[in-house]
Amino acid sequence: MSDHAKRVSQFFGLREQPFAATADPAYFHAAPPFREALFRLWNHIDERQGIAVVLGDCGSGKTTLLRKILSGLTEAGHAYKAALVDSPLPMWTSYDLIMTINHRLGVTPAEFTFNGQMEALHRFLHEERGRITTLIIDDAQNLNKRGQLELLRLAQNLETSQHKLLNILLFAQLEWKEVLNAVPNFRQRINVTYTLAPLSLEDTRELIAFRLRQAGAASPGSLFSEEAITLIHVFTGGRPRETVNVCRNAMLTAARIGQPVVDADVALHTIDRTAAPNEAVRDRIEALVEQWETHARADSASEIPEETMSQEGEAESPPGKLGGEEFAVGLGEDTGGVATKHEDEERANQLLLRVAQARETDAKARGEDQKDRSSDE
């Protein structure tokens, strides 16, 4: 972890970055979709059933699930043998694929021909038949040639009267279903197909809390406001990878301006300034913000005495009170009249100014530190 990442983590009282970009098994959160996937896949592995496929959208957590299973197989001891083929290239030939599989399993063929590679793999699986051998392939959607899938079918055809000698777990994006449907000879040999569903709002809340707890947070529920979590869930659609990315960037923004909680303002600013444009998601977020504003105005009106009501019967906002508009930061759209838009832009500019001031302070501190080092030398 870099010095800068350490400073951000320490600001929140954490010992490490809770939202790292890598698929660390220590930060695997067993949300309901993942618990069921683990149950089905471990049952498939232990019963040595052959081919299993896990499908999911981009960022749905396939690689994180894969790493958790691989970690469990590695830690389970001599009873299991596991090998990972990570992101095969679409231009690979069948020979490239079998050569890579053998290399990852530690198999050395007598002859470096296709038949030689296949004979070496069969011999290895017979010799290791007392162990559960599992081949895991990530980004399997890159295997889009009939010959590649025919090779995998032949590789797992080797069996005893009780079980297969090779398990094959394939993790792929949803569009791979079309490839599988075009090769029925392979598809009919798939014993388990599991599709990862997006996380619910509750799952997203638990994922954020779990990661914060793993990183050492004493009170993980206090670092992200409920509004911020809701906004993050709406933006990401329950995809774990995007959730982790937004949370990491939001914590960076909050630390920059010296704010110990990621609230709705910070979440909106982070989404608006660091995420790729998505008009459909933007519309959903604006609808959510408008809903919050409507509720806030209604609550505010119910608390104002009758003498403060205007002649038209509408509640007048107390001087200096922003009401529900406090959530609409950085969206750049009018969510409640001209005054609301002006206030939104003003709050967004203030947040940007605080970020800029924090950066300037850091730059000065680094410059003074370098001066001190130079003078010491």
Q: What is the pLDDT of residue 318?
A: 35
Q: Are 217 and 14 in contact (CB under 8 A)?
A: yes
* Coil, strand or helix at 55: strand
* Coil, strand or helix at 209: helix
- Could you say which DSSP state residue 220 is in? G
pLDDT digits (tens, 9 = 90+) for 261-281: 999 999 998 988 876 766 767
Residue type, position 364, single letter: K
Print the SS3 string covering 252-309: HHHHHCCCCCECHHHHHHHHHHHCCCCHHHHHHHHHHHHHHHHHHHHHHHHHCCHHHE
- Mean pLDDT throughout 180-202? 95
Q: Would the CA dihedral through 358, 267, 349, 323 be positive or negative?
A: negative
Q: What is the pLDDT of residue 365?
A: 57
Compute the distance between CA of residue 170 and CA of residue 177 in angstroms, rounded to an integer: 12
Print the SS3 string covering 306-330: HHHECCCCCECCCCCCCHHHHHCCC
Which residues, other chains included, contact 342 with Cβ-Cβ below 8 Å and sequence gap of 6+?
none
**Which band of pLDDT confidence, cut at 50, 70 and 90, is reported for residue 170?**
very high
* Runs of H (alpha helix) within 76-172: 94-105, 114-127, 146-156
Task: Enter the CATH code of domain 32-195.
Answer: 3.40.50.300
- Burial call 293-325: b when 16+ CB within 10 Å, e when fewer: beebbeebbeeeeeeeeeeeeebebeeeeebbb
Compute the distance between CA of residue 16 and CA of residue 8 in angstroms, rounded to an integer: 9
Which residues, other chains included, contact 193 with Cβ-Cβ below 8 Å and sequence gap of 6+?
52, 53, 55
Residue type, position 72, single letter: G
* Nearest alpha carbon to residue 73 among 102, 46, 103: 46
pLDDT digits (tens, 9 = 90+) for 58-104: 999 999 999 999 999 999 888 999 999 999 999 999 999 999 999 99
Q: What is the pLDDT of residue 138?
A: 97
- Could you say which DSSP state residue 164 is in? B
Burial class for 225, CB neighbours closer than 10 Å (0-12, 13-18, 19+):
middle
pLDDT digits (tens, 9 = 90+) for 215-266: 999 888 889 999 999 999 999 999 999 999 999 999 999 999 999 999 999 9
Q: What is the pLDDT of residue 326?
A: 37
- Checking if the pLDDT of 309 tops 60, the result is no
Compute the distance between CA of residue 167 and CA of residue 136 in angstroms, rounded to an integer: 8
Tell me the C-alpha to C-alpha distance, in Å, between residue 105 and each of 149, 163, 198: 19, 20, 33
Q: Label the pairing between strands 51-56 and 167-173.
A: parallel
Global pTM exceeds 0.85: no
Q: Residues spanned by CATH 3.40.50.300 within the chain?
A: 32-195
Q: What is the pLDDT of residue 304?
A: 55
Q: Are 169 and 137 in contact (CB under 8 A)?
A: yes
**Which band of pLDDT confidence, cut at 50, 70 and 90, is reported for residue 123?**
very high
